[in-house]
Structure 1
Amino acid sequence: MEIIAVDTPTLGDRSYLVHDGEVAFAVDPQRDIDRMLALLEDRGVRLTHVFETHIHNDYVTGGFALARLTGAAYHVNADDPVTFEREPISDGDVVEVGPALRVRALATPGHTFTHLAYALTSPGEVPAVFTGGSLLFGSTGRPDLLGPAHTGELVHAQYTSARRLAAELPDETRVYPTHGFGSFCSSTPTSGEASTIGREKRINPALTEDQESYVRTLLAGLDVYPAYYAHMGPVNIAGPDAADLTPPQRADAAELRSRIDAGEWVVDLRHRTAFAAGHVAGTLNFGIDGGFATYLGWLLPWGSPVTLLGETSEQVADAQRELARIGIDRLEAAATGDVRKWAGDDELRSFPTGCFADLAQVRHHRPVVVLDVRRQQEWDEGHLEGAVHIPLHELLERMDDVPDGEVWVHCKSGYRAAIAASLLDAAGRRVVSVNDDYDANAAA
């Protein structure tokens, strides 16, 4: 038996492919199913089953499309109100995936009401459990994604579900969660790259604390999550198609300018230092090197047209794949190559970058606006004296709250600051992007 993790680090998720050398099943596949298909071909195995732990809130599933393409049975909780045909599965149901792989469904509500975990046994193998958004590495999935009216009930259910897994599964059982590798679906930061039920009994608050302490700590630690999450559940209930990764049409400088002037989002994928040094006026910087899809999906008005600018066609293709995973399919156009070609006869814009030591020096000589675009929880843990706080996801709606004058914008690492700086620059503000590590250097 082989269990293969298919990582999507930009969203903080993992899918899984499990096979015995002949037949295979998949758990929580992402929308770009070509990765799963390539693994099936490489291993020379046939996919017979696809399992969903829950209706996902942070990405568009590839389960429906993968099952339809391969002829595999598609297992979704019988209580989920989906609009497509599937193999309904419920607590206690057992699926024999060939003679060597036995999968048992376990009701584990908490992340959602209908969440399931899947316990796997195979003769002569260490057991495993695919926990989705229930039991994570040193944490649990967040219980607030279905709205505040349900959070109280779900957080208590999450505690009970974690305890059920710990009680019913042997300590040596390997734990394979879908979330928790930087995903906003995790209630608190996770720890480690692998785990077992026995390890979780020692380190996981849901298994080491009493219920009241667990609930209080978890609820106090919940922070905001990306706005695009609101659109994922309805898409997944409808049975989404596979990602269409056909390259977008190419745009010349005149078309780019026309789109910018029309108020469309023209997104520059280059690194933040390259963007600051020279960019087309009105373009926005969401570097492909960071949390590109998360933050673009968070800020972009849903359904708005997007055009991508990249140094290479591969960069654009990577960005297109990232966006398809969260249901952003409408790419109007793309351009690659030298930034000067994108600008045509227009002059490039630029703005300075600096570090926290530079900011300290400047504040000794003249007044500047210090804009902190980190999230509320980060701000509460500590911030620069005199700074103005507007979280990045609120900036578009609160541009008028940014005081007049020269704006030095910072975050934790420089990535979000660069996004904010590009938004301010496009609005005609005089801006400096702080490209520096806050934790290491803010004391300056």
Structure 2
Amino acid sequence: MSGTGDGLHVVPIDTPSLGDRSYLVHDGSAAFVVDPQRDIDRVLEVLERERLTLTHVLETHVHNDYVTGGLALSRATGADYVVSAREEVAFARHPVEDGDVLAVGDRIRVEALATPGHTFHHLSYVLRDGDAVPGVAVFSGGSLLYGSTGRPDLLGAEHTDRLARLQHASARRLGAALPGDAALYPTHGFGSFCAASQSRASRSTIGEERASNAVLVQDEASYVRDLLAGLGPWPDYYAHIAPLNTAGPAAADLSPPRQVGAEEIRRRIEAGEWVVDLRHRSQFAGGHVPGSYNFGTDGAFATNLGWLIDWNAPLTLLAATPDDLAHAQRELVRIGVDRPSGAATGEPRQWSDREPARFEQAGFAALAAESAVREVPVLDVRRADEFAAGHVVGARNIPLHELRSRIAEVADDEVWVHCQSGYRASIAASFLVAPGRRVVAVDDHFSAAGAAGLPVTVASG
């Protein structure tokens, strides 16, 4: 728990797998929440533990990267659901405009500030201690982030330039409206693809951002030029999230899915359905149900699965334990994948009546040794910007999110596949092994490639 002054407390509720933070703010009695995720039980637990009354649920914007829990939380607690009056939504809400002030209990005051840029109707919320004029903190959503800003291109290319210029003006407004010691609490920027770039900072103030954040240092033209030049792709599932949020998402159903047996799992794979093994990549490589795909819950599980899966496709989950299955369900409801069509727990011999499929894992040292005696086909499944920053000479780049549509470009006989740390390489390997390719998954960090003796390019500039 962090404090913003005598008696005011901010409780961050992190969702590191998506790179987001929600916040619960209270004075020991009354509370409000900013940008809650779909699994609202995490908020309810804090409210119960601290014996707080939730009066308001605030949305900074209609989110693109996760399904909100705001409406469900409002209905569960009776709190007002605060959404920009300019947003077209299909549910009743407490509409607010620029300059509106909300009273939360006897002490907390929250002022809405229009900060368009990440979206057209984006709001930030300035926290004030009673009637004191200087804000002690600001909840900036996808506007001003730690060392960056929210990206302006999620609403379509036709709006990107306009939103980028609005983002610059909005960040400048926040920088001017708040004192230097005011705490900054963004929703995005901890790995979320909603951030234009990433920072390792875990906290910051308005003063610190004034000194170093490009949006507050550069003029508009320079900021827009550099921002747009650095934008990369975002997950395909983003296209489905905003419509879900404007329609008003129901509460998440986290009850266990129907259990299925080996015969049903085989039928689903043969029908072309998605059967996803949630175990760690080393376990998957050592033996898995033929035709299943590996998305381990130890990495960015929901982001990668949501990026690759056909939307609304039947999904069967295979997990070592019920806890692993429950964790995966929680991750999936956050991106709108509500109910798996089936699940099984245990191990591969319980999930299939066939011989387990396997593939080899190795490090970059093994790849270097093999490359010293023969030409080895190498597939790099990192994003294009990662590849451009440095790659193994001779490697072919097919970003993971493009692999399904470009799998015919991969050699049929043998391929060594790598990414940055091994997680995405295992996902790629599972797609390549399923139709019968011989794959070696490099389970190693890319920083080891050069040290192992492989020739690696380095981006200039």
Give TM-score scaled by structure 2 length. Answer: 0.94
Q: Deviations over 1:252-275 (max 9, x none)?
A: 111111111111111001110110
1:88-103 to 2 correspondence within 5 Å? Answer: 88-103=95-110
Residue matched to 2:390? 382
Structure 2 CA distance, aligned partners of 1:350 and 1:102? 59
| Contact 2:149/2:197 (<8 A) preserved | yes
How far off is 1:126 after superposition? 7.2
| Aligned-residue offset at 1:337 | 1.3
Could you tell me whether the CA contact under 8 Å between 2:18 and 2:192 is conserved in 1? yes
- Match for residue 302 of structure 1? 311
Q: Secondary structure at the match of 1:287?
A: coil
For residues 147-194 of structure 1, the C-alpha deviation after alignment (integer angstroms, 9 at most, x for no partner) is: 111000001111100000010111111000000001111101123111
Residue 261 (structure 2) pairs with residue 261 (structure 1): no
Shift of residue 382, structure 1, vs aligned partner? 1.6
Match of 1:324 in 2: 333
Change (3 A) 1:259 1:409: same
Query: Distance between the aligned counterparts of 1:173 and 1:152, measured in 2?
Result: 30
2:152 alignment partner AA = P
Letter of the structure 2 residue corresponding to residue 306 of structure 1: L
Match of 1:371 in 2: 379
Query: In the alignment, which of 77, 80, 84 is matched to residue 70 of structure 1?
Result: 77
Cα offset, 1:321, TM superposition? 0.4
Distance, in Å, in 2 between the alignment partners of 1:361 and 1:57 is: 45
Number of equivalenced pairs: 443
Residue from 400, 413, 416 that aligns with 1:392: 400
Aligned mates of 1:413, 1:94 — CA distance in 2: 47
Distance (whole Å) between structure 1 residues aligned to residue 91 and residue 330 of structure 2: 25
2-structure distance, mates of 1:66, 1:406: 51
* Residue 27 of structure 2 is aligned to residue 20 of structure 1: yes
Q: 1:158 aligns with which of 158, 167, 173?
A: 167
CA deviation after TM superposition for structure 1 residue 405, in Å: 2.4
Matched AA of 2:446: Y
CA distance in 1, matches of 2:314, 2:233: 25
Q: Secondary structure at the match of 1:185?
A: coil
Cα distance between partner residues in 1 of 2:76 and 2:50: 18
**TM-aligned CA deviation for residue 364 of structure 1:** 2.4
Which letter maps to 1:207?
L
The corresponding residue for 2:459 is none
One-letter code of the match for 1:382? G
Gaps of 5+ in 1: none
Equivalent residue, structure 1, for 2:368? 360
Give secondary structure in 2 for the equivalent of 1:88.
strand
TM-score where L is the length of structure 1:
0.98
Q: Which of these residues, 28, 41, 47, is aligned with residue 48 of structure 2? A: 41
**TM-aligned CA deviation for residue 277 of structure 1:** 0.7
Q: Which amino acid aligns with 2:335?
A: I
Partner of 2:207, secondary structure, is helix
Corresponding residue number in structure 1 for 2:342: 333
Instruction: State yes or no: 1:416 paired with 2:424.
Output: yes
Aligned counterparts, 1:15-414, within 5 A = 15-123=22-130, 127-343=136-352, 345-414=353-422
1:37 deviates by 0.7
For residue 210 of structure 2, give the secondary structure of its aligned residue in structure 1: helix
Contact between 1:270 and 1:310, CA under 8 Å: does it hold in 2? yes
Cα offset for 1:388?
1.2
**Letter of the 1:222 counterpart:** L
Q: In 1, distance between residues paired with 2:387 and 2:376?
A: 19
Q: Confirm or deny: 8 A CA contact 1:12 1:182 kept in the other structure.
A: yes
Check conservation: 1:32, 1:321, Cα contact below 8 A: yes
Amino acid in structure 1 at the alignment position of 2:59: E
Q: Contact 2:284–2:358 at 8 Å: present in 1 too? A: yes
1:267, 1:239 → 2: CA distance?
29
What's the secondary structure of 1:35's corresponding residue?
helix
What percent of counterpart residues are identical?
59
* CA–CA distance in structure 2, aligned partners of residues 138 and 368 of structure 1: 40
CA contact (8 A) 2:380 2:397 kept: yes
Q: Deviation per CA, 1:109-143, whole angstroms, max 9, x where unpaired? A: 00000000000011489711000000001111001
Asked whether the equivalents of residues 127 and 135 of structure 2 are also in contact (C-alpha less than 8 Å), the reply is no
Question: How many Å apart are 1:367 and its aligned residue?
Answer: 3.1
Residue 320 of structure 1 aligns to a residue whose secondary structure is: helix
Q: Is the 8 A contact 2:142 2:187 kept in 1?
A: yes
Deviation, 1:330, is: 2.9
Contact residue 318 and residue 345 of structure 2 kept, 8 A: yes
| 1:98 Cα deviation after fit | 1.2
Question: Contact conserved, 2:147 with 2:199, CA < 8 A, in 1?
Answer: yes
Work out whether residues 364 and 448 of structure 2, in 8 Å CA contact, stay in contact via their aligned partners in 1. no
How far apart, CA to CA, are the structure 2 residues paired with 1:442 and 1:273?
23
**RMSD value over aligned CA atoms?**
1.2
Secondary structure in 2 aligned to 1:331? coil
How far is the alpha carbon of 1:293 from its aligned partner?
0.1
Q: Alignment partner of 1:438: what SS? A: coil
Q: Tell me if the contact between 1:305 and 1:330 (Cα under 8 Å) persists in the aligned partners.
A: no
Check the 8 A contact 1:303/1:330 in 2, yes or no: no
Letter in 2 for 1:333: G
AA matched with 1:14: R
Please name the residue that 2:456 is paired with.
none
Structure 2 stretches lacking a partner, 5+ long: 1-7, 454-461
Helix, strand or coil: the match of 1:395?
helix
